[in-house]
Amino acid sequence: MQVLGTGCPKCRKLYEAAQAAVQQAGVEAEVSKVEDINEILEFGVMMAPALVVDGAVKAMGRVPRVEEIVAMLKAGEGMV
């Protein structure tokens, strides 16, 4: 799972929520930050923060609730 963003407060909040979701879901997943703007643009993301699960952008321009992220991890799908 990757959190895309340049380090703004919302980006940090999403990173924390993603870590909490991994723990709550009981899955083995690594949460990493992508702060390089060129790498972020490769995902087609135009609004930060964004959340990438299994290589797909699942949320963009907002911070999903921990429960939403847990559902994305368990179902492998989510809304942008």
Residue positions annotated with a catalytic role: 8, 11
Q: Read off the amino acid at residue 60.
A: M
Q: Which residues contact 45 (CB under 8 A, 6 or more apart)?
A: 4, 57, 60
Q: How far apart are CA 65 and CA 11, in angstroms?
A: 13
Strand-pair partners of 4: 34, 50
